[in-house]
Structure 1
């Protein structure tokens, strides 16, 4: 084990066995169904439980970030246990106050407990793919400086595209207007969404039909990664069969050295809805 510990939040959608294998600490966000029901993402509400609940209620769930105190508590626990340096990598600050909470906690601790807080400017396993690569390096004994250098490369080399099955949840959560949602549904438009350099959701392209969307994503990845060795993560909201099929398609086109298929958890699922598929890719190193 190395002298660097990696912290992230539950929106990274990293499978539990991978969290445990790489000793990644995960601070949960919260999901609220009205005023009376609050759950910690991935702790007392799994992805499957969330989507079942979503389908059986008329309540539109809301989400909230962890408090600075939650991050401070986790940082203290890690440091007191092993006196390790800490790198904390989080959901885009344009989408949540999670990064800000982590940053406030790091400033409260000051120089006593060294924490580097990073805005991934991404969501779901687009965070996860970065966290997993840095955690693997840290577990091989890399220094904090080496981990941060690798992290800088990952932030430049990681791409993500989302395909939503319905525009309903984006409309409910204020990401698009009602007219756009109705029009998209009538025309069977499959919007391909991505995150820009600031970490904001934007419409990358609109195509008609799932197959055309997949072909466009593959084309875009070919231009960005070519024959490079890559780590591919597909996160999905109750669309496992489609996720497996898409991974198979990607294996036919690319040199995939690491692949992960995971669930889109309750917090991200609140905003994108069931049927969503997200594809995240980053370059591997020879180290």
Structure 2
């Protein structure tokens, strides 16, 4: 039995079977196609269904965060089941969403006896998941909350993420780059390699021409950072499972991989990056 309840949100893109195995509670964000179609990420809209719907729709989907009430309901249910167990709630970068703020407000609304600690991961997709999974595995093995918070500090320092998009269209529609840059990049087949700042904002790490060069550039960067360290590697993808498998095979041949996870980029993150996106997350592992 875990000594700490771990909560995250659906943008962590943790495979359901892994979340179930580790006892991770996931609070869904929402995807909206116009005013009348609203879906809960991963609950009534899977990644596969979302990308199919995206390809058929002329409507640009939007997303919304969980309400404080949703988080408060989760915290109360967890506390009711196990009143003495503290809750660690880890969420999507506050620079990208109000999800962290909703969780924080909910934590303020419940009694101090609930012992809820809300964390801004400053990351997205499995770059959140990789941190959550490492902590949940520790909790399942019997670690106490203080141990998890100490490990969390390490993970926030040691976790790196790079991602590539198939088209700049979705980044442009979501205000990440200008229309002219998106058009020029598409014409020249430029692959922007994106990452996240220390504050959790998307920034252009580099740009190269072609996917193969982009992957090799990322792997070189990761090799420089992690060397022979044991690592936990996650590849999240938007309708690019075969490419994700090829990249993982190359990574496992070059790095000391202790745990590997391939997962779908879910509807909420997918709405902002589009199909064909590949994200590589790595952290030093103690699993």
Aligned to 1:23: 23
Q: Structure 1 residue 174: deviation in Å?
A: 1.0
TM-score by length of 2: 0.99
1:178 and 2:179 equivalent? yes
Aligned to 1:111: 112
Aligned to 1:129: 130
* 3-state SS of 2:110 partner: helix
Correspondences of 1:195-234 after superposition (within 5 Å): 195-234=196-235
For 2:18 and 2:11, the matched residues in 1 are separated by: 15
Correspondences of 1:150-161 after superposition (within 5 Å): 150-161=151-162
Unmatched segments (≥5 aa) in structure 1 = none
Q: Structure 1 residue 3: deviation in Å?
A: 1.8
* 3-state SS of 1:274 partner: coil
* 3-state SS of 1:252 partner: helix
Task: Count the aligned residue pairs.
Answer: 286
Aligned to 1:51: 51
Q: Structure 1 residue 142: deviation in Å?
A: 0.7
Q: Structure 1 residue 110: deviation in Å?
A: 3.8
Aligned to 1:72: 72
For 1:131 and 1:216, the matched residues in 2 are separated by: 27
For 2:201 and 2:269, the matched residues in 1 are separated by: 14
CA deviation string 1:223-272 (max 9, x = no partner):
11000000000000000010000001111210001000000000000000
TM-score by length of 1: 0.99
Aligned to 1:101: 102
Runs of 4+ deviating beyond 4 Å: none
For 2:2 and 2:240, the matched residues in 1 are separated by: 36
Unmatched segments (≥5 aa) in structure 2 = none
For 1:16 and 1:222, the matched residues in 2 are separated by: 30
For 2:143 and 2:108, the matched residues in 1 are separated by: 24
For 2:252 and 2:2, the matched residues in 1 are separated by: 32
For 1:103 and 1:185, the matched residues in 2 are separated by: 40
